[in-house]
Amino acid sequence: MINRRNIKRIYLITARKVKDFLLSDKSREFLIFLFFFLIASGFWLLQTLNNDYETEFSIPVRLKGVPNNVVITSEPSSELHIRVKDKGTVLLNYMLGKSFFPITLDFSDYKGNDDNHVRIYSSQFEKRLLSQLNVSTKLLSMKPDTLEYIYSTGASKLVPVKFQGTVSAGRQYYISDTICKPDSVLAYAPEGVLDTITAAYTQKVKFEDVSDTLKRQIPLLGRKGVKFVPASVEMIFPVDIYTEKTVEVPLRGVNFPAGKVLRAFPSKVNVTFQVGLSHFRQITESDFHINVSYEELLRLGSDKYTVKLKSVPKGVNQVRINPEQVDFLIEQVTPEYDN
């Protein structure tokens, strides 16, 4: 452990070495060289800054005085990018010391046309911009050269939200539902535009190999002159895991004339399918129907029938039937036997 005596000794040794270096001939030569180097660098910098240069600056844009009954559906650009030319000393002053005041647009000073679309050309605010620049500074360009915004005087309607994108589950999983919160949003726009809006679409997204319920806040797709409130929605994609189930389903004859019945061997087949675990108990044999029509059997010209399901419940896939074919005959029965 270092004690006070050791610290004092190390300090004295270090101070002596520094003093010896500063008093040496090499040290004096180095300090003289450094002095003249700094003077030369200063002259070079002044000479360089005296040349003309071009650079870009950003100036904020603000819109004020918007009435309570007006909704800005398409905001003006938040920044104005200007390109200027002047001596380096002036441009350095802009960079280090001078801050630009925002270009302020007063809503009451401008009036839109029939579609409430306001366009403010550069000639209308260029003087305010030049007043912030030195007389020697030359304004080369301005982007955008037109500030524009669109507003609505309170006209709105409720439109449904439509999801755009793809969501795929991982192996042995599936997306059991697509939930949107909220499922409708308010659309604000000038009346001529509002009539054309039938839905609000989300931005396109892609999610792959999802294995657990997914929740994402997704922005709505922007449209010029239209403002959606809210501007984003929460999309929920519940995920379920597949399991396999087998049920026994009978073959039923339909459209048979009186006195004739269907005899199938076997009379029931096993239907195996995949279903989500949450729906496992809900899906039963009564949800499947194998209806064999009399006309279909007459057209076969054979005593073997390929079993086909007439309906499959929602959420069921990968259906397999065993056996795939059954033997059959059309039996003539007496009315008493049929009853």
Per-residue pLDDT tens over the stretch 162-219: 999 999 988 888 888 899 999 999 999 887 888 889 999 999 999 999 988 999 999 9
One domain for residues 271 and 327 = yes
One domain for residues 103 and 134 = yes
Residue 111 lies inside a defined structural domain of this protein: yes
One domain for residues 209 and 278 = no
Cβ burial of 26 (10 Å; 0-12, 13-18, 19+) is exposed
One domain for residues 56 and 144 = yes
What residues in the chain have per-residue pLDDT under 70? 1-8, 11-12, 15, 17-38, 40-50, 97-98, 112-115, 335-339
Among 133, 153, 173, identify where a domain stops: 153
The answer to whether residues 117 and 151 touch, using CB atoms and an 8 Å cutoff, is no
> Is 0.85 topped by the overall pTM?
no
Which residues have a Cβ under 8 Å from the Cβ of 99 and sit 6 or more positions away? none
* 110: helix, strand or coil: coil
Report the b/e string of 198-236 with b at 16+ CB within 10 A.
Answer: eebebeeeeeeebeeeeeeebebeebebbbbeeeebebe
Residue 187 lies inside a defined structural domain of this protein: yes
One domain for residues 107 and 43 = no
Among 218, 237, 256, identify where a domain stops: 237
DSSP assignment of 141-202, as one string? EEESSEEEEEEESS-EEEEEEE--EEEEE-TTEEE---EEESSEEEEE--HHHHTT---EEB
For residues 187 and 181, give the distance between their C-alpha atoms in angstroms, rounded to a whole number. 16
Residue 339 lies inside a defined structural domain of this protein: no
Residue 337 lies inside a defined structural domain of this protein: no
CATH number of 164's domain: 2.170.120.40
One domain for residues 56 and 105 = yes
**Residue-level pLDDT at 339:** 46
Residue 318 lies inside a defined structural domain of this protein: yes
One domain for residues 197 and 285 = no
Residue 114 lies inside a defined structural domain of this protein: yes
Tokens linked to 24: 């040496």
Residue 251 lies inside a defined structural domain of this protein: yes
Residue 32 lies inside a defined structural domain of this protein: yes
One domain for residues 149 and 66 = yes
CATH number of 95's domain: 2.170.120.30
Among 237, 253, 286, identify where a domain stops: 237
One domain for residues 138 and 59 = yes
One domain for residues 56 and 149 = yes
Q: Which domain holds residue 128?
A: 52-153
Which residues have a Cβ under 8 Å from the Cβ of 71 and sit 6 or more positions away? 151, 152, 153, 154, 156, 188, 227
One domain for residues 14 and 77 = no
One domain for residues 217 and 290 = no
* 291: helix, strand or coil: strand
Query: How many domains would you assign to the chain?
Result: 4
**Residue-level pLDDT at 184:** 95
